[in-house]
Structures are given as C-alpha cells and as structure tokens.
Chains A and B, each alone.
Chain A
C-alpha cells in the first residue's frame, strides 16, 4: 500500500514537471505576444485592431498552444492509465 502510494506520488511529480514545461511555454509565448501588442500600440493606437492578421495570428497561436497543452496533457494521462492497467512485470524467481 505504501509502495503504491509512493508510486502515485512519483508519477504525479513527473506529471507536474511536464505540466510546468507546457505551462511555461504557453506563458512565455503569451508574454511575448503582450510585449508585441504593447509595441504595436506605440506605433499606432489602433494597430492591433487595424492589423487583423497580426492579432489573429497572435490570438490563434496562444489559443492553439492552450488547446495543444490540453491535448498533450490528455495523452500523458492516457499513457499513465495504460501503464497502470498493465500487470507488473515479474522478475526472475530466486
């Protein structure tokens, strides 16, 4: 029981690290987009609204990353479930 519990915690920690990477990438891209938005407003107050392709690309990339993270997380969870469902591999008998 204790082994099972520590295995769950170990898997959860590995997952948290993967999640940190996913969230980190999304956050960095989001921050870059914010800076670009700010810079575009410096050139013209309406720039983000006038340049639809810029805004659409920025919003699209951020949305795609968010939904991509969701898919990646779901896939990770599915792999975890499949591994958990497999019977443990028996070592050579002594």
Chain B
C-alpha cells in the first residue's frame, strides 16, 4: 500500500509538527509554561485541542472497522462519549480550572493535603495513561506498518521519538498546537470524504443506505459477538465510555491551559460540537460507505477474503476508492497526525504526574526547585517514551479496543469517583478517598484480568473467571459505596477543620464567575 504521495504527506506532517515544537520550545521555559502553556490558550483553541486529544485513531478507524465487520457496538462507541463531556462540563471543568494549576492529583490534594492521596491519584492517572498509550502505540505500529510498509517495531520507535521531542522540548504549548493541527486536518479529511461519498451516490443518502443494507444481507451471515449481546456488557461498556471520559488525565489536564473558568466552558462546547460532527459523519456516512463500496472489491481483500490490514483499514481503503492515491495519502497522513496528537497528550499527562506529583510533591515534599522539577519532567518524558515503546512492541497484535476500554474502565472506576467526591461531598475523608479509589482500581483491573479477553485469550485458560470484559457497572458503584462507607465509619475525621477546608474549596471552585 506504500504510495509516494502518502510518504510525502507523512514527511510534511513530521516536519510541520517539529517546526511547531521548535517554535513552542522558544516560548517554553517556566514550569507553568511546560505544564499548562502559561494558561495562555483561548477557549476555542483549547476546544480544538481537546477534540484533537480525544478523537484517537482507534476511535475513528476502530468504529468504522466495527461497523464494517457488522458489529453494532459501533453505535455505542459513538453515542457514549458526548454524555461524558456533558458531565465534564456540568461538574468538573470549572472547579478543576479554578482550583488546579498543572495536574489533576493537585486538585484532590487541595482537599486532602499530604502524600497518600496525592500519590494514589498520581499512580491511578499513570495507570490510565499508560494503558491508553499502549493502545495508541499498538495502533500506530500496525497502521504505519501497513500504510508505509515499514516494520512494526520501527514504526513504534518513530512515533515514540516524535512524542518525546514534542513534550520534552515544546511542553504543553507544542502538544496543544499539534492537537489543534490534527483536529483541523481531521475535520477537513472527514468532510472531504463525506463530499466524495455523497458525490458517488448523486447526493442521495438513502441510496447509500440501500446499497449498504444489500451488502450486509450478502456478507454478514452469523451472529456478531459484541457487547450489545448482553445487557450487562451493554450497560457496563456504556458507563465506561461515557464516564471514563471524565477521568482521563490527558483530557482533564487541558483545562489548566486556559486563563479562566469561562474559557474552560467554551473549550468543552467547541470540543463537543466538533466531536459530535466527526462522530456522526464517521458512523452515518463513512461506515456505511465502507460497507457499501469496499465489500465486493477483490483488490482490498487477501486470498482468504480478509480485508488487507484488518477491519480498521476499511476507511483507508474507502479513501483510495473515492479519491485514489491522493486521498488515501491524505487520510493516511491525517491518521498519523491523529496518533501523534493523542500520544503527545498522554505523554504530557504521564510525565506531569511523575515529575510534578510523585517527584516534586510526594518524594521531595514540595522542596524541589523549578529547575529540578523540569529536569525530572524531561527524564520522565524519556522514561515514559521508552516504556510506551517497549510495551507497544510487547503488546503487538493485542485488541486495541480492549486496551482502550481498559483505560476507560480504570478512569471511570478509580479516578472519577475520587475527583467527583472530593469536589462535591463534604463527608468524604482521606481514608474514604483512598479506600474508594483503591477498590475502584483493583476491582476494575482485577475483573478485566479475570475476563475472557485476558484470562482466556492471553493466559490461555479454558473458562474466564468473570464472564464479561467490561467491569465498570460493578467497579464504579463499588468504589462509590466503599468511599461512602469508609468515610462514614471514619467519624473522627469529620472535624470542623475538614468542613472549613471543604467550604473554602467550594467557594474557590465557583469564584471566577462571582
């Protein structure tokens, strides 16, 4: 599938993003500039960056791939995240902006000063970002291997090196502009493909659906094995995909880059509109176009009638069908930019948790100088890059959607309860926060390991200990109940001081609009 146009566009993406990094590096010197771009990003820019940060290659290509394989879960993957962004807007964005400066654990630590809660929330943030990073690395390696014909390991190393350069030298400013660039080219790419799809069916969308339905009747004969087959899995995956968004550290961290709460709100509104637009097009136009036009074209299938590069490549094959090598090159470059933007955001969040929370606050108890912390930030970026590259190679061939759902499940079960209860429940105690978060983390990861995807497919056992790959419906309520019960039993910590801290934080969280 290697085409000169695709290679040229890949090089343009790499050069452009490196130029952005060089420009950002000249403007990034202090801690505030590294972690939060000096809070100089406008709401609209940040909205574009959030959209760029959130819409990963696995989301776009994966959803179309699911639909292409006749898996109705595609609808669930599209509809759930917007609810999460609504919850984020209503309950999280403003308090986070008003209370925090650089990282999410910092906000929880305001309620519970000391090292324990901060260390736990930083560790949970790290777990989520590393899982997500592995998914992106596996996706990046596979995609670039197919699109450019380079070996998988080399592709992973190239992506890892680029993400390290963006973050270590350009900090949040470079990350933000890489994400903005990605969001813009993604929207342009998706709109271009939509116009070409409509042109192919003479601007009659019904005929597209009729062709797609006819193909479905011919191609899909057996049952698909998606989450929608079981009510438990449907609800659990829906909960993870929606509420998990609110616990993703790399998305939450973006609210520290804007100057005030009003711009934080604007960020989400812009992000939601863009994400809704792209998701609707991907599901209701591109997925059906892929089913309608790619099936029945032998050049896209191998000798075993399997789509070349797997189902995730359905949209890429569609682009070649609609616009030849030029459009395929554009789509491949957009995909590459998408991967780079997401991994940059994830690396930023991981390195921030390591340097700012674990090193500067937990180990050095706030005694580290700004220079020391920034040095550790760069070392942490390198460490995260090496770990991500190694894990990316080790997990080659692992189901990307599963890895993403793993990150979302842990985010929804461990990060979100602690953050929400810290912000809104007066009765939460330090022990309650720790117990709730720990139960959410252990239950979600434990149930994932005991589920069919790891216990049977990876570890090779005959039967899974837990029948579903989606733990959130159990892990999230369990985390909330544990936090509540532990806090209620922890009566000696319901002091006047604790109440005063909560009241002060509540006032500060809403202050910007006063």
Let me know if A62 and B90 touch, CB within 8 A.
Answer: no
Q: Which of A15, A66, A80 has the most CB of B within 10 A?
A: A66
Let me know if A27 and B228 touch, CB within 8 A.
Answer: no
CA distance A2 to B163 in the complex (A): 47
B442 to chain A: which residues have CB within 8 Å? none
A31 to chain B: which residues have CB within 8 Å? 235, 238
Shortest Cβ distance from B514 into A: residue: A8
Given the interface pairs A63-B82, A70-B89, the reply to whether A49 lies near B75 with Cβ below 8 Å is yes
Contact among A12, A26, A35, A50 with B509 in the assembled complex (CB-CB below 8 Å): A12
Let me know if B79 and A62 touch, CB within 8 A.
Answer: yes
B74-99 vs A, CB cutoff 8 Å, 1 = contact: the mask equals 11101110110111011100000000
19 inter-chain pairs at a CB distance below 8 angstroms, sorted by A residue, are A6-B507, A9-B510, A26-B83, A27-B83, A30-B80, A31-B238, A33-B79, A38-B234, A45-B72, A45-B223, A45-B229, A46-B70, A46-B220, A55-B283, A55-B284, A59-B284, A63-B280, A66-B272, A74-B265
Q: How many interface residues does chain A have, given as a range?
A: 35 or more
The prevalent SS among residues of A at the interface is helix
Contact among B235, B284, B504 with A56 in the assembled complex (CB-CB below 8 Å): B284
A62-79 vs B, CB cutoff 8 Å, 1 = contact: the mask equals 110111011001100100
A33 to chain B: which residues have CB within 8 Å? 79
Let me know if B272 and A67 touch, CB within 8 A.
Answer: yes
CA distance A67 to B277 in the complex (A): 12
Whole-angstrom distance between the Cβ of B68 and the nearest chain A Cβ? 10
Given the interface pairs A9-B503, A30-B238, the reply to whether A48 lies near B86 with Cβ below 8 Å is no
Given the interface pairs A34-B238, A59-B79, A63-B280, the reply to whether A22 lies near B510 with Cβ below 8 Å is no
Whole-angstrom distance between the Cβ of B311 and the nearest chain A Cβ? 14
Q: Which residues of B contact A (CB under 8 A)?
A: 67, 70, 72, 74-76, 78-80, 82-83, 85-87, 89-91, 209, 213, 216, 220, 223-224, 226, 228-231, 234-235, 238, 242, 265, 268-269, 272-273, 276, 280, 283-284, 288, 424, 503-504, 506-507, 509-511, 513-514
CA distance A53 to B162 in the complex (A): 43
CA distance A66 to B509 in the complex (A): 23
Whole-angstrom distance between the Cβ of A42 and the nearest chain B Cβ? 8
CA distance A11 to B306 in the complex (A): 59
Given the interface pairs A11-B510, A45-B223, A49-B216, the reply to whether A55 lies near B91 with Cβ below 8 Å is no
Whole-angstrom distance between the Cβ of B63 and the nearest chain A Cβ? 12
Whole-angstrom distance between the Cβ of B225 and the nearest chain A Cβ? 9
Let me know if B228 and A48 touch, CB within 8 A.
Answer: yes
Whole-angstrom distance between the Cβ of A27 and the nearest chain B Cβ? 7
CA distance A20 to B207 in the complex (A): 42
The yes or no answer to A89 lying at the interface (CB within 8 A) is no
Let me know if B90 and A34 touch, CB within 8 A.
Answer: no
Shortest Cβ distance from B502 into A: residue: A9
Name 6 extra pairs, CB < 8 A, besides A46-B72, A70-B272.
Answer: A5-B503, A30-B83, A41-B228, A63-B82, A66-B83, A70-B86
Shortest Cβ distance from B224 into A: residue: A45
Given the interface pairs A41-B228, A56-B284, A63-B276, the reply to whether A26 lies near B86 with Cβ below 8 Å is yes
Let me know if A81 and B82 touch, CB within 8 A.
Answer: no
Given the interface pairs A63-B82, A63-B276, the reply to whether A52 lies near B284 with Cβ below 8 Å is yes
Q: Which of A4, A11, A49, A59 has the most CB of B within 10 A?
A: A49
Given the interface pairs A9-B506, A19-B90, A30-B238, the reply to whether A70 lies near B83 with Cβ below 8 Å is no
Contact among A11, A49, A62, A73 with B67 in the assembled complex (CB-CB below 8 Å): A49
B513 to chain A: which residues have CB within 8 Å? 77, 80-81, 84
Whole-angstrom distance between the Cβ of B507 and the nearest chain A Cβ? 5
Let me know if A48 and B72 touch, CB within 8 A.
Answer: yes
CA distance A27 to B78 in the complex (A): 15
Let me know if B90 and A38 touch, CB within 8 A.
Answer: no
Let me know if B511 and A16 touch, CB within 8 A.
Answer: no
Contact among A8, A19, A30, A47 with B72 in the assembled complex (CB-CB below 8 Å): A47
Shortest Cβ distance from B67 into A: residue: A49
B510 to chain A: which residues have CB within 8 Å? 8-9, 11-12, 15
Contact among B74, B265, B268 with A49 in the assembled complex (CB-CB below 8 Å): B74
Q: Which of A22, A34, A37 has the most CB of B within 10 A?
A: A34
